[in-house]
Amino acid sequence: MCGIFGIVADREQQLGPILIEAGQRLSYRGYDSVGCATLRDDGTIDLRKDVGKVDEVAARLRLSEMVGRRGIIQLRWATFGAPSRVNAQPHLDSDGDLVGAHNGNVVNNVELRQQFMAEGMTVRSTNDGESCVHAVERYVDRGYDMVEAIRRAYRDLEGDYAFVIGRVGEDRLYAIKKGSGLVAGLADGATCVSSDLPSILPLTRRILRVQDGEIVILWADRVELRRVEDGSPVEREVEEVTESMEVAEKGGYPHFMLKEIHEQPQVAGELLHLLEASPHVTPMVERMAAARHLYLVGCGTSYHACLLGAIYLARLAGRPAVPILAPQFIAQYGPAVGPRDVGVFVSQSGETKDVLNAVEVAQRQGMEVLGLVNVLGSTLMNESEHYLPLVCGYEISVPATKTFTNQAVAFLFLALRMGGHSTTDLAHLPEMLEETLAAVEPQVSALESALADRDDLYCLGYGLTYPIALEGALKLKEITYAHCEGMLSTEFKHGPLSAVEEGYPVLFVVGPEDVPLLVSGINETTTRGGRAIAIGEEDSRLRANAHDLIVLPPAGPLFNPLLAVLPLQLLAYRLSLSRGYDPDFPRNLSKTLTVD
């Protein structure tokens, strides 16, 4: 989830300090490299960029000294092209008279790069931000003005992105939005555009929120919006922002966890766009299908995604896979695996020590290592023979939410492809996630007071919802500090049922295929005085037998688990607040566990 900021001033000045501060205020989004460009009145572009954090790159490259009338800074979160100076943004066009940067993912980047090189353009990197610049260059070179060139480039660039671009000899910047965030600001003597509000608020609180399919043209004294469809002007009132800086960083949400829960529809859509166009999917599927034994290896939340992935692979591709916790993989399978075996290793950070230990053992045995990872340039990415990026952006809150969803979506996509099924229906998933969040939030809030003082509860699931029950229990433990045990519903009667007494809460995550079986479990709880809370699609049997029903939109068995995790995330969040804890930073835990 990169961050971009551009500014147009009414006179040439030292823009470096303004750009650095904007970058610092976007750094919460997560990044691996930084770059600045200024366009000077003498017709030159000063471009400086490198891998590293804002402060260290600023000191090393003396970014504060950069002068110009227009300037751009970009913080890059790598998806296309590993973190490096050449892949850092902004990027120049072939002749060095256009400069631009983007936020998002251009999923046909590989094909576009091949086209640009065939057309004689100078392509310096493997980064899709450079493809945005060349896509505009292509039409500028054919004689189109900048607005028309951007309109035509928009049709060539597939994916979700926003980008800003400037041209030597002009007095303006241009930006366009297609899926990724973009907001413009109007200050005294300057205008600016950014991925997010925090970088704009120190300069002005007068903003325009840019919509998808709109081009922004920024002069020092005004901002103009045009529709990409036909170039016609867009009229929109300037808005006065009242949020504090902290609220702005959280997108108006009180905590990063809630913000990241609500980002899940967007990041799932971005991942699906990438997977549909990715050349890495086919080799991943081929190696997984050809494996003697296939292992899905992770820890914590990532392990729960592996467990769900194993069920998807069995159902959709007839391919058995062994989901296994990374440390247990070493003891249980490490001595027996070999070159004909394949492991898919899953990690949000790509630096989880337990996972990397398992990778080391697998490689020593000659086993092929594949990766699902959110951080490009991480150790897991570098050790994987093939990998898929999860494109979730930076996840600040310690409890994983959007990374779990995209791990599960990636496994579902791979299973469909391996089984020869269409992935077309997955296009509806982001909308269904959005609908589910809207539907379940009030239902979860209604349960908050009944569960807030409970220190013990169970979360049960079966089949496809078993991994969701484990994940829901983990979230409740992480941030409420209550003991919640996730369990296969059919195992509950083999001992744990003895804990149930009057009012004891038991959560049941119910897939549409499994209602009769779960109704039996619900009654084992209610006949002993327990409170049964079902999470599932509307069903008269659940209504009749459970005390409470959190209703999910109808989605079918494959999508149901991806929707069912949302109310559990929200329930954990609400109960954490009720109990007086900070859900973003639970005690004793770290986002990335780099110790044994």
Digit-coded pLDDT (tens) for 375-414: 877 889 989 999 999 998 878 888 999 999 999 999 999 9
Of 199 and 289, more confident: 289
Strands 531-537 and 505-509: parallel
Contacts of 164 (CB under 8 A, 6+ apart): 4, 6, 72, 100, 101, 102, 173, 174, 175, 193
Identify the sign of the CA torsion 415, 420, 421, 424.
positive
Identify the sign of the CA torsion 50, 53, 55, 60.
negative
CATH fold for the domain made of 434-583 = Rossmann fold (3.40.50)
CA–CA gap between residue 98 and residue 166 (Å, rounded): 6
Q: Is the pLDDT of residue 187 over 80?
A: yes
**Over pLDDT 70: what percentage of the chain?**
98
Determine if the pTM surpasses 0.95. no
DSSP string, 514-566: -HHHHHHHHHHHHTTT-EEEEEEE--HHHHHH-SEEEEEPP--TTTHHHHHHH
- Establish whether domains 3-249 and 434-583 are of one fold: no
Digit-coded pLDDT (tens) for 232-259: 999 999 999 887 777 777 888 999 999 9
- The residue extents of the domains of the chain are 3-249, 253-422, 434-583
Residues in the chain: 596
Q: What are phi and psi of 254, to 5 degrees?
A: -70, -20
Beta strand extents in 326-408 (DSSP E only): 342-347, 368-373, 386-389
Q: In Å, how far from its chain's centre is CA 182?
A: 17
Nearest to 391 by CA among 139, 566, 180: 180
Active site residues: 2, 591
Q: Which CATH number fits domain 253-422: 3.30.870.10, 3.90.1150.10, 3.40.50.10490, 3.30.565.10?
A: 3.40.50.10490
**pLDDT level of residue 26 (50, 70, 90 thresholds):** confident
Average pLDDT value over all residues in the chain:
93
What single letter denotes the amino acid at residue 156?
D
Q: Span 328-338, mean pLDDT?
A: 96
Give the CATH architecture of domain 3-249: 4-Layer Sandwich (3.60)
Contacts of 580 (CB under 8 A, 6+ apart): none
Q: How far is CA 293 from CA 89, 288, 336, 372, in A?
A: 41, 9, 10, 18
Identify the sign of the CA torsion 425, 426, 428, 433.
positive
**pLDDT level of residue 533 (50, 70, 90 thresholds):** very high
Q: What is the pLDDT of residue 591?
A: 55
Q: What is the pLDDT of residue 380?
A: 92
With beta carbons less than 8 A apart as the criterion, state whether 203 and 190 touch.
yes
Contacts of 540 (CB under 8 A, 6+ apart): none
CA–CA gap between residue 521 and residue 492 (Å, rounded): 8
